Amino acid sequence: MGEAIFRFLFKYPPIAFSQGRLALASSWPVWVLLAAILLAAVLLGLYLWRLRSALPARARALVWGLQSLALAILLVLLWKPSLILSTLVPQQNVLAVLVDDSASMAMDDQGIPRVDQVKEILADSGPLLTELREKFQVRLYRFDKEAVRIDSAAELTASGASSHLQDSLAQVYSELRHLPLAGVIIISDGAENGSAAPRELMEEWKARKIPVYALGVGEEEFDRDLQIDEVSTPRTALPGTVVSFGITVRQQGYVGESARLEIRDGTEVLKSREIHFGRSPVETVQMSFTPKSEGIPEYTISIEPLAGEAVKENNSQSRVVEVQNRTAKVLYIEGEPRWEFKFIRRAMEEDRNLRLVSLLRTSQNKFYRQGIENEEELMDGFPGREELFRYDGLILGSIGVAFFSPEQQEDIYAFVSQRGGGILFLGGRYALGDGGYQSSSLADLLPVQLDQPDGSPTFRRTPVQFLLTPRGWDRLQLSEDEAANRESWENLPLLGNYQVTGEPKPGAVVLAEVVAPDGKRHTLLASQRFGRGRALMFATDGSWRWQMELDHTDNSHKTFWQQILHSLVSDTPPAVSISTDKALYLDDQHIRIQAEIYDENFQPVNAASTIATISLPDGSTVELPLQLSVEEDGVFRGEWEASAPGVYRVDVVARAGEKEIGRNSSYFQRADGSLEFFSAEQNVSLLTRLAEETGGGYYPLEEAGRLPEQLTYSPAGITVPEVRDLWDMPFWILLLFLLKGTEWILRKRWRSI
Amino acid sequence: MPWRSGSHLYLLASLPVMAVLLAGAGFALQLDLADLPGFGKKKHAKLRDRPPGEYAYVFTRLAHYSPRGRSSRGHTWNTDYPKADRQFLQGVLRLTHIEAREREQVLRPMDPNLFAFPFLYAVEVGYMRLSEEEAARLREYLLRGGFLIVDDFHGSWEWASFLREMQQVFPDRPIREVELSDPIFHCFFDIEEKIQIPGLQYLYSGRTYEQDGVTPHYRAIYDDNGRIMVMINFNVDLGDAWEWADLPEYPEFYTSLAYRLGVNYIVYSMTH
């Protein structure tokens, strides 16, 4: 609308003025014009002054002003104001039209599939293409994950598995960069799932001033839709461990409503939960369950579709978690006999996947070993570095830091940061602040600050209530059933004591707190990542009361301790490990494999031959030697293309000469076809950004008819300069009428001159 | 003037002095005279103890019910109490790192605080009578992880009586002899022989046994994981050996053994 008025007044569209240059086309010099205007103004002024009219000076000045302005305009018009433009030479320039042909284009918008809308606009005999062909050599492409030249829009099928918009743009540009490319039209819904275009290409593009015009297809926003955006899961778990999925759900148009979220293993529903939608478009929930089967079970996370949903295919995703049947070894150093020690041992007694080896100092010079495999284990007390690194986790009880020699303290530090083990600090009268840890390097490991003591002991023997924080509710559970879980936590007896530490460190996760009798809150259970490993703190030694004060059939104490110790060692890396850059490859075939090879002292090994064997879903295998990475020690990499969907297994064997250093295995998952349905609403911002950065414009598909004209003003390609007259703009006439009209009205009012 | 104003001053000056003297006397009386050298016989050393909840370990004696009557005189729960307990605890504190309270405590089976103390000691269990309620409570206590030592009962009559009461607690669990290889005999000290530790009567009779309990038996009731829940010292008397540790006539050999067994029991109860 505004443009129409502009064109009426100024003859040409705004783009012409922005691209072009204003100039005076007359051959007479500009200074003559300026002199003439000045002369006219002076003469007029003299005349009016001489007139000796009855009007006050101000009124006469006003009249003088209006009349000089009118004269000036007339003079300017004599000098032929013009607009100098570069216009494209017809048929000399190439125009590329890229059409999105991915599966998201098959979606209906108000009953008509997007691709059909496009075909109509781009029909060979249609007005758009005819007009464009008059001025340009038009090349038509369709793109999904790459661009392919087509002859006519009828060839569009909307069946591509992914939309790599920027990649395709880059591909077309590199094809046409030596031709006079006047511009590019992209017709897409913008729903892109590829990577961004390389920066150098975009810079070159912008330097050549090639405009990209984007025609947006599809609804800009779905009215109502639910989508599972992301599911974050651990890659591996020990049997019997609680696995926690973090599920992010995006909703549009369902504020205030609720839907049912389910996790399934095959057809069996493992966990389900109602999720309520508030004002925020994104909600994240944690759902935990214990995997029953071993191996690599595939779990489906889905949300029940609600009425009126635009797209139902984005309501579910699948994930795989490897349940490893390995036995983790945890070393527990305890400084004095106490009940907490006994009941922790009892809680872990029946766990087949975790062996608790303990070294208890029963008196000044006596140590009692339990859980050892043979007589030699821990024979010399606290193990040296090599033996220590064979454990997956370490628990320090009520034992002061002075018990450990400086080398042993260094070994413990390296155990966590270098070897990737887990360490758990318990509370006790010789532990944490009361054990002197604040002045040792081990204080770095703790997830809380250890405040300098003011002399009073930090170990407080007052019964307190164990309080889970919101993060704790997500990560720990005493029962699979939500109601039973809540009840179990609430029925827990008081803890016998607690230990005062300091503030949690920035990266720490606080899972539980206690409230002291004076009302102050203290961190009780916290964890943090450290180096390759992790550190936990449980600042009490009174959790054994949960076992003694609840019925002997109640498993709360046992479940709690199993979860804590499993979380301590679940992520501890073995000496040889292998992983892929993603666990799930959606419509993406490129697999990046990385293996980390360490020897038994957890030193990285570079001189190893590392071979990965990939087992495909159909049972066949492929061998892939991995290459040593130059940037990092002990890291070997390889790349592979996986086409068929399914679950793949990757086994790695590392050898130094004839000797085998170690082996391990991992898995990844390939899935196809569904990526297009996620975030399928039109991505206006992406398209607009592309257009604006290059000097083009974004138009919805209906306004495609404006394109040909816009394109003629493109600064790229082969152009000729054109001079267009501006003196016959209706604007001038209107302006003159305005000036003279105002003067006439004023004179009528004053009845003079 | 009846008297000179100066005399008042002397009277007034003497008041604070008297007050100080009185206070000092009162303060002196506050002190436990037993602590001052030469003042009275040291019956029991002053114990610097706090409430039981503030210790890692408290020696808890079970105050079980015994029927009244002449036959059970001298055979009650408080046999050897409290001297045996105190002296034994001194040994525990000296030999181990256990944070033990110097003073013992006594709890009845139905005491609400029973579950806060996972270690129990009971003597003269040949004369113990448990009600159904008490038996159920004891069963729950032991299954949750509690540990009970029974000591100082002799002869087949007392055994039969004890067996009857224990079968109320654990009808289906057998009582077995403890092998010398069991961890309970090796968790702190190594016990290589099962010796009969006699009571004080040994000094008069010359026999280490009482009634017809000639052979010492170290027996136990195990849980489903092979851990001892009830340690049964039959035809031996550890309590007396602890109590008479300071008597020169009582052989040191038996005392040492009793201490070693007792400490092993405590360490076992805190590690299994």
Nearest-CA distance A346 → chain B (Å): 7
Q: How far apart are CA A222 and CA A335, in angstroms?
A: 63
Q: Phi first, then psi: give them for residue A652, nearest 5 degrees.
A: -125, 140
List pLDDT tens digits, range A591-633. Answer: 899 998 988 777 888 888 899 999 888 888 999 999 998 888 8
Q: Is the ipTM of this complex over 0.90?
A: no
Nearest-CA distance A435 → chain B (Å): 15
Contact B116 A545 (CB under 8 A): yes
More confident residue, A453 or A723: A723
- Whether residues B135 and B227 share a domain: the answer is yes
Q: Phi first, then psi: give them for residue A407, nearest 5 degrees.
A: -65, -40
- Whether residues B72 and B105 share a domain: the answer is yes
Average pLDDT over residues A9-19: 81
Residue B187 at interface with chain A, using a CB cutoff of 8 Å: yes
Residue A505 at interface with chain B, using a CB cutoff of 8 Å: no
Q: How far apart are CA A333 and CA A344, in angstroms?
A: 12
Name chain A contacts of B148, Cβ cutoff 8 Å.
none
> How long is chain B?
272
Enumerate the CATH 2.60.40.1930 domain ranges in chain A, comma separated: 576-673
Q: How many CA atoms lie within 13 A of A584 on its CB side?
A: 20
pLDDT at B36 over 50: no
Which residue in A has a C-alpha nearest to residue B119's C-alpha? A339
Taking alpha carbons only, the member of A334, A540, A346, A404 closest to residue B96 is A334
Annotate A482-547 with DSSP letters as a single string. Answer: HHHHHHHHHTPPPBS-EE---PBPTT-EEEEEEE-TTS-EEEEEEEEEETTEEEEEE--S-TTHHH
Name chain B contacts of A342, Cβ cutoff 8 Å.
118, 145, 269-272
Contact A362 B56 (CB under 8 A): no
Q: How far apart are CA A196 and CA A467, in angstroms?
A: 46
Q: What is the pLDDT of residue A546?
A: 95
Q: Are B56 and A336 within 8 A, CB to CB?
A: yes
List pLDDT tens digits, range A147-169. Answer: 888 888 788 887 777 777 777 88
- Whether residues B153 and B217 share a domain: the answer is yes
Contact A548 B146 (CB under 8 A): yes
- Whether residues B141 and B177 share a domain: the answer is yes
* Domain presence at residue B37: no
Residue B97 at interface with chain A, using a CB cutoff of 8 Å: yes
Which residue in B has a C-alpha nearest to residue A494's C-alpha? B116
For residues A5-22, b (16+ Cβ closer than 10 Å) or e, as one string? eeeeebbbbebbbebbee
Give the pLDDT band of residue B32 (cuts 50, 70, 90): very low
- Which of A375, A552, A553, A556 to mutate against chain B (most B CBs within 10 Å)? A552
Residue A551 at interface with chain B, using a CB cutoff of 8 Å: yes
Name chain B contacts of A544, Cβ cutoff 8 Å.
118, 145
List pLDDT tens digits, range A479-504. Answer: 877 788 889 999 999 999 999 998 99
CATH number attached to the domain at A90-191+202-211+682-717:
3.40.50.410
pLDDT at B3 over 70: no
Q: What is the pLDDT of residue B35?
A: 45
CATH number attached to the domain at A225-323:
2.60.40.10
Q: What is the pLDDT of residue A681?
A: 66
Contact A368 B56 (CB under 8 A): no
Stretch 206-265 of chain B: residues touching chain A, C-beta under 8 Å: 225
- Whether residues B111 and B207 share a domain: the answer is yes
* Domain presence at residue B88: yes
Give the pLDDT band of residue A753 (cuts 50, 70, 90): low
Contact B270 A341 (CB under 8 A): yes
Contact B118 A552 (CB under 8 A): no
List pLDDT tens digits, range A644-670. Answer: 888 888 899 998 888 888 888 888 888
pLDDT at B245 over 60: yes
Contact A547 B145 (CB under 8 A): yes
Contact B267 A337 (CB under 8 A): yes
Contact B97 A335 (CB under 8 A): yes
- Which of A332, A333, A334, A339 to mutate against chain B (most B CBs within 10 Å)? A339
- Whether residues B12 and B107 share a domain: the answer is no
Give the pLDDT band of residue A524 (cuts 50, 70, 90): very high
- Which of B94, B107, B268, B270 to mutate against chain A (most A CBs within 10 Å)? B270
- Which of A338, A430, A546 to mutate against chain B (most B CBs within 10 Å)? A338
Annotate B232-260 with DSSP letters as a single string. Answer: EEES--HHHHHHTTT-TTS-HHHHHHHHH
Residue A369 at interface with chain B, using a CB cutoff of 8 Å: no
> How long is chain A?
753
Enumerate the CATH 2.60.40.10 domain ranges in chain A, comma separated: 225-323
Q: Which residues pair with B4 in a beta bridge?
A: none
Q: What is the pLDDT of residue A579?
A: 84
Q: Are A534 and A544 within 8 A, CB to CB?
A: no
Q: What is the pLDDT of residue B235?
A: 94
Q: Provide CB contacts within 8 A for A563, sequence distance 6+.
A: A241, A242, A476, A477
Residue A475 at interface with chain B, using a CB cutoff of 8 Å: no
Give the pLDDT band of residue A540 (cuts 50, 70, 90): very high
Residue B99 at interface with chain A, using a CB cutoff of 8 Å: yes
Contact A342 B272 (CB under 8 A): yes
Number of domains comprising chain B: 2
Name chain B contacts of A548, Cβ cutoff 8 Å.
115-116, 118, 144-146
- Whether residues B15 and B138 share a domain: the answer is no
Output the CA–CA distances (angstroms, integers) from residue A139 to A99, A197, A211, A700, A710, in the order listed.
11, 21, 16, 21, 18
- Whether residues B76 and B9 share a domain: the answer is no
Contact A342 B145 (CB under 8 A): yes
Q: What is the pLDDT of residue B40?
A: 41
* Domain presence at residue B265: yes
Taking alpha carbons only, the member of B201, B195, B200 closest to residue B216 is B195
Pairing of strands A366-370, A354-363: antiparallel
> A328-569, superfamily in CATH?
Class I glutamine amidotransferase (GATase) domain (3.40.50.880)
- Which of B95, B96, B115, B144 to mutate against chain A (most A CBs within 10 Å)? B144
- Whether residues B132 and B10 share a domain: the answer is no
Q: What is the pLDDT of residue A173?
A: 83
Q: Please give the share of chain A, as a percent, with pLDDT higher than 70.
A: 95
pLDDT at B195 over 70: yes
Q: What is the pLDDT of residue A221?
A: 64
Contact B270 A338 (CB under 8 A): yes
- Whether residues B108 and B240 share a domain: the answer is yes
Enumerate the CATH 3.40.50.410 domain ranges in chain A, comma separated: 90-191+202-211+682-717
Q: How far apart are CA A202 and CA A144, in angstroms?
A: 20
Contact B270 A339 (CB under 8 A): yes
List pLDDT tens digits, range B123-145. Answer: 999 899 999 999 999 999 999 99
Nearest-by-Cβ selection for A548 from B144, B188, B266: B144
Give the pLDDT band of residue B30 (cuts 50, 70, 90): low
* Domain presence at residue B41: no
pLDDT at A397 over 80: yes
Nearest-CA distance B116 → chain A (Å): 7
* Domain presence at residue B194: yes
Q: What is the pLDDT of residue A81?
A: 87
* Domain presence at residue B150: yes
Which residues constitute the domain of residue B206?
52-269
- Whether residues B10 and B61 share a domain: the answer is no
Nearest-CA distance B194 → chain A (Å): 22
Which two tokens mark B101? 């309270």
Taking alpha carbons only, the member of A359, A468, A352 closest to residue A403 is A359
Q: Provide CB contacts within 8 A for A179, sequence distance 6+.
A: A94
Q: What is the pLDDT of residue B218?
A: 95
Q: What is the pLDDT of residue B39?
A: 43
| Count of CB pairs separated by less than 8 Å, A with B | 84
- Among the ranges A153-157, A216-220, A741-745, which has the highest mean pLDDT value? A741-745
Arithmetic mean of pLDDT over chain A: 85
- Whether residues B136 and B204 share a domain: the answer is yes
Nearest-by-Cβ selection for A461 from B54, B140, B146: B54
**Helices assigned H by DSSP within A267-355:** 339-348
Residue A342 at interface with chain B, using a CB cutoff of 8 Å: yes
Nearest-CA distance A355 → chain B (Å): 15
List pLDDT tens digits, range B140-177. Answer: 999 999 999 999 999 999 999 999 999 999 999 999 99
pLDDT at B23 over 80: no
Nearest-by-Cβ selection for A337 from B116, B146, B270: B270
Enumerate the CATH 3.40.50.880 domain ranges in chain A, comma separated: 328-569
Which residue in B has a C-alpha nearest to residue A558's C-alpha? B144
Q: What is the pLDDT of residue A191?
A: 66
* Domain presence at residue B202: yes
Taking alpha carbons only, the member of A546, A456, A460, A537 closest to residue A497 is A460
Q: Which fold has domain A576-673?
A: Immunoglobulin-like (2.60.40)
For residues A653-680, b (16+ Cβ closer than 10 Å) or e, as one string? bbeeeeeebbbbbbbbbbbbebbbbbbb
Contact B97 A549 (CB under 8 A): no
- Which of A362, A372, A429, A543 to mutate against chain B (most B CBs within 10 Å)? A362
Q: Alpha-carbon torsion A53, A56, A61, A62, what sign? A: negative
Residue B21: its H or E element: helix B5-30
Nearest-CA distance B98 → chain A (Å): 6
pLDDT at B41 over 50: no
Which residue in A has a C-alpha nearest to residue B137's C-alpha? A551
Residue B53 at interface with chain A, using a CB cutoff of 8 Å: yes
List pLDDT tens digits, range A132-147. Answer: 888 888 888 888 878 8
* Domain presence at residue B42: no
pLDDT at B33 over 50: no
